[in-house]
Amino acid sequence: MSALVIQSLINGVLMGGIYALYSAGFSLIFGVMGVVNIAHGDLLMLGAFLTYWMFVGLGLDPFLTLPFSLLGLFVLGYLMQRLAIHRVVGAPPIMSYILTFGTHLMISNLALVAWTADPRTVTTAYSGAHLAIAGLTVPWVKLITFLISLAVVGALYLLLHHSQMGRAIQATSQDREMARLSGIKVDRVYALTFGLGAAITGLAGSLVVAFRDVDPGMGLPYTIIAFCVVVLGGMGYIPGALVGGLILGVTGSVCTLLFTPGWSVAITFFLLYLMLLLRPAGIMGKGIVE
């Protein structure tokens, strides 16, 4: 029995890392620009498909495609910000909901026309391979994803707090006008931030396709989970994504074991609700409240 509990904890922690990875970009974009990006899951989907097509077309290993999805999605995010999102920066977050919802419809349905609704996944020689210790299994791909997730959240944190660019981003997110007056090119900072957020999300997508099926319509549920994770951890507080992800992942997994998968979802969401009531600035108390 106890082995089962430990195994479910492992599954939950790995899942939490994955949640954190695909939520970090969402948190960054919200924290800096106050933009709730409903097209977030679609950026994830694009990263996943980039990897998928490079794998199918060129036989490239999914891990080797990571730089391409980072770069590709960075460019896309940069352009998205410049072409559309900049219109709603500074407006109430609700304006960004609807603008990015329109973007979501465009991206996902264009992708549907281009790639059909087939669920796709990357199956390599090492798919499903796992580390086996004392009857416990740790799938390699998920373990690596988890480590990458830790690295990404750590790197983002360092970038924001200990670099020139990070200080510019921080200054801009705190007071746009002051930042502009002190010589920071605010539009450029925003475009860079959005590009960076999109890049991490694309990276997450590239990893997701290695252990789960993806399809053009997959985006919205991922956006919603990312939203939950980020709010739980505290909006705009990057390490919060990791905390929020782990809470959701572990609760989900352990409750699945102890009750049923259905009750586990109910309990997880109810718990999320209670935590928000008790800690309205995220579980760490460090999120933006408004």
Out of 2, 59, 118, 162, the only residue in the binding site for another protein (CB under 8 A) is: 118
The least distance separating another protein from the CB of residue 260, rounded to whole angstroms, comes to: 6
Which positions ≥6 away from 173 have C-beta within 8 Å? 31, 32, 33, 236
Give the other-Cβ count within 10 Å of 101's Cβ: 16
Q: Which is nearer to another protein, 10 or 70 (CB)?
A: 10
**Buried-exposed string 167-190: b where 16+ CB fall within 10 A, e elsewhere:** ebbbbbbeebeebeeeebebeebb
Out of 95, 144, 150, 184, the only residue in the binding site for another protein (CB under 8 A) is: 95
* 238-277 footprint of another protein as x/- string (CB under 8 A): -----------x--xxx-xx--xxxx-xxx-xx-xx--xx
Is 74 an interacting residue with respect to another protein (CB under 8 A)?
no
The least distance separating another protein from the CB of residue 118, rounded to whole angstroms, comes to: 5
The least distance separating another protein from the CB of residue 277, rounded to whole angstroms, comes to: 6
The least distance separating another protein from the CB of residue 26, rounded to whole angstroms, comes to: 11
Q: Which is nearer to another protein, 70 or 250 (CB)?
A: 250
Is 6 an interacting residue with respect to another protein (CB under 8 A)?
no
Angle 42-269-32 from CA coordinates, rounded to 5°: 45
Give the other-Cβ count within 10 Å of 212's Cβ: 14
Helices (H), the chain: 2-33, 40-58, 66-83, 93-115, 140-162, 164-174, 176-181, 186-208, 219-233, 238-258, 261-278
Nearest CA to 173 out of 189, 191, 152, 156 is that of 189
Out of 20, 88, 196, 243, the only residue in the binding site for another protein (CB under 8 A) is: 88
Q: Which is nearer to another protein, 165 or 224 (CB)?
A: 224
Out of 171, 184, 217, 284, the only residue in the binding site for another protein (CB under 8 A) is: 217
Q: 3-class DSSP state for residue 125?
A: coil
Window 28 to 67, contacts with another protein (CB under 8 A) = 30, 36
Out of 60, 71, 84, 159, the only residue in the binding site for another protein (CB under 8 A) is: 84
C-beta of residue 25 within 8 angstroms of C-beta of residue 158: no
**Distance between CA atoms of 165 and 156, rounded to whole angstroms?**
11
According to DSSP, residue 285 is labeled S
C-beta of residue 270 within 8 angstroms of C-beta of residue 219: no
Out of 20, 46, 169, 228, the only residue in the binding site for another protein (CB under 8 A) is: 228
Out of 82, 127, 150, 171, the only residue in the binding site for another protein (CB under 8 A) is: 127
Which positions ≥6 away from 153 have C-beta within 8 Å? 20, 21, 24, 238, 239, 241, 242
* 133-172 footprint of another protein as x/- string (CB under 8 A): ----x-x--x------------------------------
**Distance between CA atoms of 246 and 17, rounded to whole angstroms?**
6
Q: Which is nearer to another protein, 159 or 271 (CB)?
A: 271
The least distance separating another protein from the CB of residue 54, rounded to whole angstroms, comes to: 16
Is 215 an interacting residue with respect to another protein (CB under 8 A)?
yes
